[in-house]
Each structure stands twice: as structure tokens, then as C-alpha cells.
Amino acid sequence: MIYRTVSWKCTPLVIDSTLNSLYTVCLNVYQVFIFCAMKFHCLVKKSLNVATITDLNGSEERRNQTCKFFTEVISDVIGYMWVSVQSRKRVIEEIGSKCELTEQKVQYMGLKAFHAVLSRKQSYYVTRVPTLIAQLKQMFEGHTFRQMLQLNGNEELLKHVTDPQNSADLLKKIKF
């Protein structure tokens, strides 16, 4: 379901750097990730029914397994976005256009978007999967530390794209 969202929203038009500025391309991708993170939250909320919540409250091992599963799903969604971008890049390049997205930029925006959305719903995760937000933050910080040098001078651009003020309307208007 989340993969389909990535496929539908990640079109050649959205990532074409000859039609859009790099800022607009990054903002488009970041907002697709925001939407995917909201869908992820809704799916998690629906799947953690009363029986599962009771299970999670009683077993530290079960909570850790659930948290690991959720972080793997998030990583997979981010990876799938990169695969989708590469696929669309080939189409764009065949018609003489270009796409300036790199894997590092996509990963950065994906981790930042999931962290932003799930942090807004932190009270929901504290009682059910308390380490999810912390693990996501750790993944983001680890990624940021290792990958910032590979962003080729786009650090300020990505900080501006992922600034909560730029997506505040999107986050406030959609109820999830």
C-alpha cells in the first residue's frame, strides 16, 4: 500500500530537474515521504489492535521485534523511493532531461520525513513501541553524520526543504 503511494506520486514530472528547480524536486520528494509516513502511521494504528497492545505491554522482546519490524519497513519504503527515482531517471534521460537527485538526498529526506511525522504522534508510540522514535532518530543521526559529506554542498538546501515550517500546512491540514 505504501509502495503504491510511492509509485503513484514519484512521476517523471515530479523529479525532472529541467522543469523544476532542485529545491522543488526535493520538496516534491519530501512531501511524498511525509504522505507515506502518515499512511504508515495510520496502518500501524489500525494493525495494533487491543490484543496486540496487551501483548506489547507484557513483553519487552515482543516490543523490540515490533520496533525492528517497523524500522525495517521504513527503510524499505525509503529504499523503494530510490529505486523508483532511478527508474524514472532513465525515462527522463531518454528524452534529454535530467534528475539531480542522489541516493543520499533521498535517504536524508525519507528519514527526516518519517521522524517528523512519527514524532508528532509520539504519545501513541510511547506506550506501544517506546523505542521506535529513538531508533528512527538514531538512524537519522547516524545517516546524517556519515552522509552529509556526500551531499555535494546541498546541506542548506535539504535543511530548508525539510524545515518543519515549509511543510507545516501539510502536516496541520491532514488529519491522521
Collapsing DSSP states into helix, strand and coil, what is residue 21? coil
The DSSP 8-state label assigned to residue 96 in this structure reads T
Pairwise CA distance, residues 92 & 20, whole Å: 13
Percent helix / strand / coil, the chain, rounded to 5 = 80, 0, 20
pLDDT block averages, 10 residues each, the chain of length 176? 85 92 93 92 76 58 79 91 94 92 89 86 69 70 56 76 75 67
pLDDT attached to residue 99: 92
How many CB atoms sit inside 10 A of residue 130's CB? 14
Helix (H) or strand (E) holding 163: none
Task: Measure the CA angle with vertex 138, ends 41 and 163; round to 5°.
Answer: 65
pLDDT attached to residue 124: 73
Cβ pair 118, 135 in contact under 8 A = no
Cβ pair 170, 31 in contact under 8 A = yes
Backbone CA torsion sign across 93, 12, 24, 74: negative
Domains of the chain by range and CATH?
A: 2-160 (1.10.357)
pLDDT attached to residue 26: 94
